Structures are given as structure tokens and as C-alpha cells.
């Protein structure tokens, strides 16, 4: 069973969080990406809890109404603050300086790569969904003629009118993209309860705007890593996905989901849950 909690990290930062599992079990922190929410992991949380883990999935900064500083000030969404939120949530769940398992999808994956690079001693394992290592992604942008086209939305999201465009016609852009990636309409509806308002969308886009056009680079990670990539992902091509292996200096598994899109936890929940559980139990905290 999933429990909804509101966790205050500091005044003005109250996060909506989904929790499943016993408080004294090993922690699995799951970070969502763009155009979805904590509900991306609605199937994985109870599965992880049943495997003896404490699974925690927050609506991240800007997605939680209680943790939504002014998105017009892009500095409020600097990646350093986003990383600090994630690490503070791990502490707030009672894990202090203990090691935990980290899962990241899309933008949440960008944070997770950075955390793994900087704090390897804090992580027992890393599970990546649809987000290649930043160095592999940068290489693909230069060498894969299809990758810039796959990533063109990054530039489009800098446009001041992007939120209005994405939410127009009952959020048609999101509904169409989700459907093309195999996301069930019921899952899209749950995500839109979080992301479907102008304030929430502006805050979500502030992640892109705070980053600007420069992608943050990190070195190889030294944490046991599982990378799950769907070969029908519309934003991440094969070169970037396969190239990630070069930048993991630890036990590494690359799992390709045939027909899988960008939102595999929603599209193939049972398969993703099984892969996660196998990985985290192989590398206990």
C-alpha cells in the first residue's frame, strides 16, 4: 500500500511524497523526470516494499505545490538545489548518512548521475531509466545525426510561451507524447493532476531554463549501475544509450526493453519492477 506524505525539509519546501515499506528497511529513492510525476512509480513502490525495501518517490521541486519557489527566478531551480533536495529527502526518511539505492528517470536521472558521481559512498546502487550518462549523451549530440532532433524540445522549452503551448487543448502535447510512448491514459491523467496547471508547468520548465544551453558534465561513476532503455524511446537514441557503458567504472548492466518508450515504468511496470528488485537486492545497502 502506498502512503501519501507531506515532508517539510525547510520553510517553503514541503514535498508531496509517496511511501511504501517499513521505515527501518533499506531506502530506495525514486526521482521522476519531465512530463510525469511521482506517480511514474506507482507500480514499483508496492513491489519494492514487498521485497523488503522502503520505497520513496517525491514530487520534486516545482512539482510539489509546497515546494514551488518562483520559477521566474531560474536560480531557484539550479541543479545544486535539486540535488540538495534529493539528499535531504533521504535524510528526512531517517537514513542519515547510511547508504541507499537511487533510481532516476529523465531529469531525475540527470540528478542521479550527478549524485552518483559526487557521493558514491552514499549509494548502494544506481538504477537509470531513459537517461544516458551525460558524457555519452554529449558524444551522441556530436556524432549521432538523429540525437539533436530527438533533443530539440530542450531548446523549445526555453521559449517564454512553452507552458501555454504544452497545456493547450487539454494538455494535448503531453497526452499525444505519452500515448506515443505507450503510457496508458489512466497514468497520464494521474500525472496531469500534478503537472496540468500553469504554475506547475512553469516550475517544471524552470529546470530546463535554469540549466540553459550548457549540459553539465561529470566523470565516470563508481556505483553498481543498471541502465534500462527502451528501443522506441523518442528522446534517447541507441548511440547515447549504448555509449553509457564507457562511463561506469563499476558493475554495470544495460537492459534493452524491446518496444519500450521513454516512460517504461508506466508502460512496462512489471518488467521494470522485476529489474529494479533484482538489481537492488544484488547490491545490498
Task: Count Cα atoms within 13 angstroms, Cβ side, for 191.
Answer: 25
Pairwise pLDDT comparison (119 vs 213), residue with the higher score: 119
pLDDT tens, 60-86?
999 999 999 999 999 999 999 999 999
CA distance 206 to 202: 6
> What pTM did the predictor assign?
0.97
pLDDT at 213 over 70: no
Q: Which long-range contacts (CB under 8 A, 24 or more apart) does 73-78 make?
A: 74/206, 74/209, 74/210, 75/210, 76/206, 76/210, 77/203, 77/206, 77/207, 77/209, 77/210, 78/210
Q: What is the pLDDT of residue 41?
A: 98
CA distance 212 to 251: 33
Task: Count Cα atoms within 13 angstroms, Cβ side, for 285.
Answer: 23
119-133: average pLDDT: 97
SS (H, E, C) 146-164: CHHHHCCHHHHCCCCCHHH
- Give the cell for residue 232: 522506441
DSSP 88-127: HHHIIIIITTS-EEEEEETHHHHHHHHHHHH-GGGEEEEE
Q: For residue 96, name the pLDDT band (cuts at 50, 70, 90).
A: confident
pLDDT tens, 219-255?
899 999 999 999 999 999 999 999 999 999 999 999 9
Could you confirm whether domain 3-282 is CATH 3.90.280.10? no
Lowest-confidence pick of 25-34, 40-49, 89-98, 171-180: 89-98
CA distance 126 to 104: 8
pLDDT at 40 over 90: yes
- % of residues, the chain, pLDDT over 90: 88
Q: How many CB atoms lie within 10 A of CB 234?
A: 15
pLDDT at 214 over 70: no
pLDDT at 154 over 90: no
CA distance 176 to 199: 21
Amino acid at each position: 500500500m502506498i502512503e501519501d506524505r507531506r515532508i517539510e525539509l525547510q520553510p517553503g519546501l514541503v514535498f508531496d511524497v509517496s511511501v511504501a515499506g517499513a521505515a527501518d528497511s533499506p531506502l530506495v529513492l525514486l526521482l521522476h523526470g519531465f512530463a510525469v510525476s511521482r506517480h511514474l512509480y506507482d507500480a514499483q513502490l508496492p513491489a519494492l516494499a514487498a521485497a523488503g525495501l522502503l520505497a520513496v518517490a517525491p514530487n520534486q521541486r516545482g512539482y510539489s505545490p509546497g515546494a514551488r519557489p518562483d520559477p521566474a527566478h531560474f536560480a531557484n531551480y539550479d541543479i545544486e538545489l535539486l540535488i540538495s533536495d534529493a539528499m535531504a529527502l533521504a535524510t528526512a526518511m531517517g537514513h542519515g548518512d547510511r547508504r541507499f539505492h537511487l533510481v532516476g528517470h529523465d531529469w531525475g536521472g540527470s540528478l542521479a548521475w550527478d549524485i552518483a558521481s559526487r557521493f558514491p559512498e552514499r549509494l548502494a546502487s544506481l538504477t537509470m531509466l531513459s537517461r544516458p550518462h551525460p558524457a555519452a549523451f554529449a558524444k551522441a549530440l556530436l556524432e549521432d545525426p538523429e540525437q539533436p532532433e530527438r533533443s530539440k524540445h530542450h531548446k523549445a522549452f526555453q521559449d517564454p510561451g512553452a507552458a501555454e503551448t504544452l497545456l493547450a487543448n487539454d494538455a494535448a502535447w503531453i497526452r499525444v507524447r505519452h500515448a506515443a510512448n505507450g503510457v496508458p491514459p489512466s497514468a497520464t491523467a494521474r500525472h496531469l493532476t500534478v503537472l496540468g496547471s500553469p504554475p506547475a508547468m512553469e516550475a517544471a520548465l524552470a529546470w530546463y531554463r535554469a540549466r540553459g544551453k550548457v549540459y553539465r558534465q561529470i566523470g565516470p561513476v563508481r556505483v553498481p549501475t543498471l541502465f534500462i532503455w527502451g528501443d522506441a524511446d523518442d528522446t534517447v537514441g541507441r548511440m547515447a544509450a549504448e555509449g553509457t557503458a564507457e562511463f561506469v567504472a563499476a558493475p554495470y548492466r544495460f537492459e534493452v526493453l524491446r518496444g519500450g518508450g521513454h516512460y517504461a515504468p508506466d508502460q512496462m511496470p512489471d518488467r521494470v519492477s522485476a529489474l529494479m528488485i533484482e538489481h537492488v537486492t544484488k547490491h545490498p545497502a
